[in-house]
Structure 1
Amino acid sequence: MLRSLSFKLMAAMAALMLTVAAIILAASYTYLARQQQSNFEQEVDRNLELINSSLLEPLFAYDFQQLEAIAESLVNTALIDQLEITDHRGKAMADAQVSDQAAPGNQHRRDAVEVIRDGDVIGRYNVVFSSEQMAQVLSNQVSLGVIMVVALLVAALFTLALLVRRIVLKPLNLITDNLSHIAEGGGDLTRRLPTDSGDEIAHLSHSYNRVIDQIAAIIRGVVEVTNTFDEHVQQMNQASNDSSHSTDEQLKQLEQASTAINQLSASAEEVARSSGETAERTRDTHDASSRGVSVVQSSQGNIQRLTQQIEQTADKITLLKDSSQNIGKVIEVIRAIAEQTNLLALNAAIEAARAGDQGRGFAVVADEVRTLAQRTQSSTEEIEQIVLQLQTHADEAHDAMEQNTHWAQQTVESGKEVQQVLESVQAHISTINDMNHQVATAAEEQSSVASEVNRFIESVFALSGKVSDNARSMRASSDELLQENNELQRRMHNFKV
């Protein structure tokens, strides 16, 4: 803004001075042009008189050389570009001109100027005057005037710029700097501008000082309010933090309580279900134990009958053992008979051999008898082996039957013990069944109470959640408010009051 004002002042003064300078230059140019024109005309008149006086005698005497010399000398001056001389009859007598003539605009021609002697025209001449020297002088004077005016204009503008900077811009810059520093968020509000100049700038400085006084008073009040406000906001923030922590802790405890209640309810339901299943299983077990008692009783009867059959089988095996021993005795008799028969057949064969041809038939019969005796002896040995094996197996079967009889008797005793245990189990199962029924009833009641408590806890949990949300919202608002208040305090502390 200050640069714009300085530029505007300098531009206005420059325009004004340029206008004045242009007017002065225009007036000076007009004056100089008129003066130069008057001087040019006077020079022309003097040159015409000089030409007339110079040509009077040579024209009268028709001295061509003299005329040519005069013409050349006159043309060599800066004022004359061309000179043509004729006699009174128009006959050319001399002609001279410069090689580099002036521009047509700077040439001034005088034709048929008469040369008079004693009242008679003795000749004429045409002369071309050049105003180029006059124009050059005028241009030099104008250029000098322009340089002087520009120098004066620059000096005046520089002087004006210094005065404007010292008288106007310096106080305005001081005001602007203070206001800019305040606008940027800081500033020394104890600084005051001088008001002793007595001009409009002093009046502006006085008004600025009054405004700064008012701003300083407002900022002091705002600082006091923000300090008090900061204490209240911190207290509110602390309260909201405590409330938020308490509600969060309460929510955690309620959540844990709800979880525990749900687990308790689930456990109660599981206990009720397990109790029902246990009751069913105990009933099934009772029935199974009853059936087991019946089966044990039936097994005892079967085992007793089996024991009797085993004893009978053992007796029969004993008889079989005795019979096999008798068979052995018979085999011993048969073996002795076979040996005796074999011996007799051998003797008969010997006797038949002694008899010769008469005893051949008898020898054949003796061989057959001996063969049968040998086969009988071999079969007897095989039967003996079989009987021996039968006796061995009979002994083993007899021992096994005696062992089975012993185990069967122990099994009968164990069956009696099992029957007693099953009867005791039936009694305990009946007691357990009654207790399971009571546990199932209590578990159902506990599950109902737990469900009701869980509903109350869920309601309290929902309310606590709303309270926690409100506490968080209030804490967020207080935090944001505290940040804004801190920012305001920071900005206020930038001002020195």
Structure 2
Amino acid sequence: MKNKSIGIRVAFGMVAGIVIACGLLVALSSIFGSRILKKMVEDEVLSLTKEVARAVDDKLTAEGKIVETLAANPILTQSNYSFTEKSEYMQKQASRLGYVEFFISTLKGEGKKFTKGQEDFDASDREYFKESMTGKTFMSDILVDKMTGRNIIVISTPIYQNDKMVGIFGAVKSADFISNICAEFSWGESGIASIYDKSGQVIGHTNAKLVEEKLNILEKAAQDSSYQKLADFYTTKILTQTTGAGEYSFLGNNKLAGFYNMKVKDWTVLISVNSSEIMKPQTDLALLMALFALVVIVLLSILLHFVLTRPLIKALNDARANIEQLARLEIGKELPHDYSNRQNEFGDIYRAIQSLRQNITGLVQQIHSSIDKLTSSSKDFSQSCNSASAMATDITRTVDEIAQGATAQASDVQDGVAELSHMGEQMENNTVQMKEMIGASDRVDLLQVEGKSQLQSLIDSTKQNTEISAKIQEAIKNTEQSVDEINLAGDTIKSISDQINLLALNAAIEAARAGESGRGFAVVAEEIRKLAESSNLSTEQIRKSVVTLAERTQYAVSQIIESNRVVEEQSVNVAGMSEKFEGISDALEHLRNTIEKIFTANERINEAREKVSSSMSNIAALTEENAASTQEISASMQEQNDTFLMIATESEALLELGEDLERISSEFKL
């Protein structure tokens, strides 16, 4: 669906605003007008209630004056007039003045009517008689005539003769005059005037029929709910206030009413009128204002269209054309519609668009410059990555060679351990032979008594001892040779450790040059350096142990030489053995001690051999660990080489991205 023009929207918004404003104006005018009119009507109703109450008061006062005037008529006190004459006179006056009848009463309450029948009655218990006996004119409440059933009012006043009260004169007046006064009230079609007593009894009404029906609104409300609102208004307002106004609902109509409590009698004047009739002028005025507002809306809409909407739409279309030029990336051309001289919102929009065009132009120029720098930096970075990759390849090759050397070193150390094991076996053989020599010495000592007879056996034993000594000397020489080989192996290990330490130092330097990507390689190089230092320490310990072993071996050799010398002396002097046989025991004891010393030295040599073997095993393990670490370094360098290759690839991609940016920025027409 096609979007509506912004001009239509603006016009619609303005019209809607005017409609709302006019609607609010009409509504507020209607509300406040209704309130003002209602207040005026309430004031008018209160004024009318007071006028009606005043009219009733005046009427009652006038009726009292009439009765007082009639009571002062001499005919009532002069004896020369018969009662019949008096009655005829009073009947004429009653007919003329609108009374039902007159009557007279003695001070004892003996009453008599001025009628054709001249009826007698007892007035002593009547309220009006008692009140008039006090010397004042009294007007009763609404009474019901028992004969006719009509509502009446009795007015009584004292009769004076020579300023002395001689009787009571009374008049019976129909209460219809109250309804007549209410009927004289006229206010539109629904205006009603009514008068109630304190009990809620209607004593006067525009509709006199309600008075004849003796309507009591309080009693009626208990029977008919339609009277309830009126009864509530009567009890809550009329009985509690002297005068006032209010509203209530009666028979489906909203009533606006005013009331006034009279001073002469405890009666209340109530005037009511339908609210709809009162508010009709206000309703007509509201309709007229709505029609006027509609005309104003139409005229203002036409005026706004030509004065505001059309220039607004033109300015917006010009701004759109300027923005469309920027959207076509034609930033080198001047904007087609110039609003720079206007000091309003459209001038601000034009200046903002112009500033945007200049900013885009500067931005595109900066992008071109940045693209050139990016292309150059990408090429240099790619070359650096290729160089780093080649260097990493060389390092990997060197590390592989180190790994191969470490593996060979581990093999040589294992051979040294095997040689030490063989040396141990020979040392054990020497121990066994020395134990046999001790046994032989013991037997010689036991058989010294048979020395002469066993001289030949001694010669044989001496020869055997010489041979054994030669073998021991040979074994010790072999041990010395093994010690030399261990020293040579230790020197070799130390040399390899120094080379590994140097390589680790070079690797750490290269890792530092590589920056963040070489951090892992630097950790591995540091571990290799620590292993090399550990290998140097182990080699030094082995060297010290070998020196000790060599010293003890030299001592064993010297002892063996001494033993050989003794054996040789025994061989030379065997001819004189007979004479010196007594010293054989001492010589054998000396020999036993010497053999024990040799045995002890042999045990020490064996212990040193075991230590050397353990050290050589440790060296072998360290060498194998060095080989494994070197292989890990080789793998890490290979990964680093792959990373350099990947960075080089990314650099080429970055170079391609710079070319794409160059192509995109070229679309801006500067």
TM-score normalized by the length of structure 2: 0.30
| Larger Rg belongs to | 1
**Bigger RCO of structures 1 and 2 (CA < 8 A, at least 6 apart):** 1
* Structure 1 or 2: more helix by fraction: 1
TM-score, scaled relative to structure 1: 0.38
